[in-house]
Amino acid sequence: MGKAEPSTKTIAILAMPGVQLLDVAGPLDVFAEANSQAGEAVYRLIVLAGEPGPVTSSSGAQLLPDHVIGADFAESIDTLLVAGAPSAHVVEPAVEVVAWLKDVAPSTRRYGSVCAGAFLLAATGLLDGRRVTTHWGVARKLAEAYPAVTVDEDAIHIRDGRLRTAAGVTAGMDLALALVEEDLGRDIAMRVAAQLVMFFKRPGGQMQFSRKDEAVPAGRSALQELQRWVAANPALDHTVASLAERLHLSPRHFARLFRAEVGITPANWVEAARVATARRLLETGHDAPKQVAAQCGFADADTLRRAFGRHVGVTPAEYRKRFRG
């Protein structure tokens, strides 16, 4: 490949073994469509790999990179993105790749990650003191592994100086569209969104897709049986005293035991179980929020709305509009 013209911005996406194919293909399609809408090659698109040969994705499909990173790769990069992989949070990053990113990323106009690619970028130290996002399923793991990084679990994508990070998978397309808007303006970005049948600005954050806070039974068998009973009867008045009585324990001992074995307070678990039931009712039924609230044990529609906001990030009405089958 020849070098890009000075007016052309080189967009490079680093794909490691096990990469989520859509983390690469999604943003590339957005930039390619921007070229089409602009009527010129605004972007030159390349895929980078850490070693020679095809990159096997998480789906098994193979991706043929344009270049291998290292001393021999000297092309100027405008925007560098690190694609994610489902295993990124458990795989030890290659020392050479981390060193290359640490050296090259600061020399670009902007750099960032898509989905769990944030783990590889965080290993360089370049995210320390920055606000970032990643897939909701691994956001807490990222925050625990890199405490110097501020992780926003709800954001679809975040801009922090020259750093750009996107949430899970398809959010890489939202990020790419935001970059197109930065470079080429709102009109072209909106035409790209229309052509790709995607939101220009996606409504809500990624909490509405998250299932991480669903109330899953945990702890000893007696506690799990109690939790299953609560989930099956969310409309009942589940106070600490009433739950403790079912297990023939004092309220104080029950609350302490529950917190120690389940990881949250009984009240928080009950609320999560009620919200999970409300989500299912909103996805499949036609009852008004007031009726859903009553069926799930919430005092009224306002109480349901506040709990829904804490767990899901949108109102019950917005959730039903987007997710009802």
Closest residue by Cα to residue 34 from 158, 165, 167, 196:
196
- Residue at 300: amino acid letter: D
Q: What average pLDDT does the segment 160-165 reach?
A: 97
Q: How far apart are CA 149 and CA 120, in angstroms?
A: 13
Mean pLDDT of 52-75: 93
10 Å CB burial of residue 57 (0-12, 13-18, 19+) is buried
- Reply yes or no on whether the pLDDT at 151 is more than 70: yes
Q: Where are the beta strands (DSSP E) in the chain?
A: 9-14, 43-49, 55-56, 62-63, 67-68, 79-82, 110-114, 131-132, 150-151, 157-160, 163-166
Q: What is the reported pLDDT for 1?
A: 42
Contact 124, 96 (CB under 8 A): no
Q: Is the dihedral of CA 278, 280, 257, 259 positive or negative?
A: negative
pLDDT given for residue 265 in this prediction:
95
Q: Give the up-direction half-sphere exposure of residue 51: CA atoms within 13 A in the CB hemisphere.
A: 7
- The answer to whether 148 touches 126, Cβ cutoff 8 Å, is no
CB proximity list for 248: less than 8 A, separation 6 or greater: none
Maximum Cα interatomic distance, the chain, rounded to a whole number of Å = 76
State the Cα–Cα distance between residues 69 and 18, nearest whole angstrom.
17
**Mean of the pLDDT values across residues 84-107?**
95
Q: Residue 188 in contact with residue 37, Cβ under 8 Å?
A: yes
pLDDT digits (tens, 9 = 90+) for 21-52: 999 999 999 999 999 999 999 999 999 999 99
Residue 75, burial from CB neighbour count under 10 angstroms (0-12, 13-18, 19+): middle
Task: Give the model confidence (pLDDT) of 244-259 as tens digits.
Answer: 999 999 999 999 999 9
Mind giving me the DSSP string for 216-279?
---SSHHHHHHHHHHHH-TTS---HHHHHHHTT--HHHHHHHHHHHHSS-HHHHHHHHHHHHHH
Q: What is the set of domains in the chain, with CATH numbers?
A: 9-208 (3.40.50.880), 221-323 (1.10.10.60)
Q: Is the pLDDT at 163 greater than 60, yes or no?
A: yes
Of 73, 142, 132, 143, the closest CA to residue 101 belongs to 73
pLDDT digits (tens, 9 = 90+) for 117-150: 999 999 999 999 999 999 999 999 999 999 999 9
User: 3-state DSSP call for residue 73?
Assistant: coil
- Which residues are known to be catalytic? 115
> Mean per-residue pLDDT for 142-171?
95
C-alpha 275/C-alpha 296 separation (Å) is 8
Please tell me whether residue 12 adopts helix, strand or coil conformation.
strand
Instruction: Give the model's pLDDT for residue 213.
Output: 60
Burial 24-55 (b: 16+ CB within 10 A, else e): bbbbbbbbbbbbebbeeebbbbbbbbbeeeeb
What's the 3-state SS for 28-47?
A: HHHHHHHHHHHCCCCEEEEE
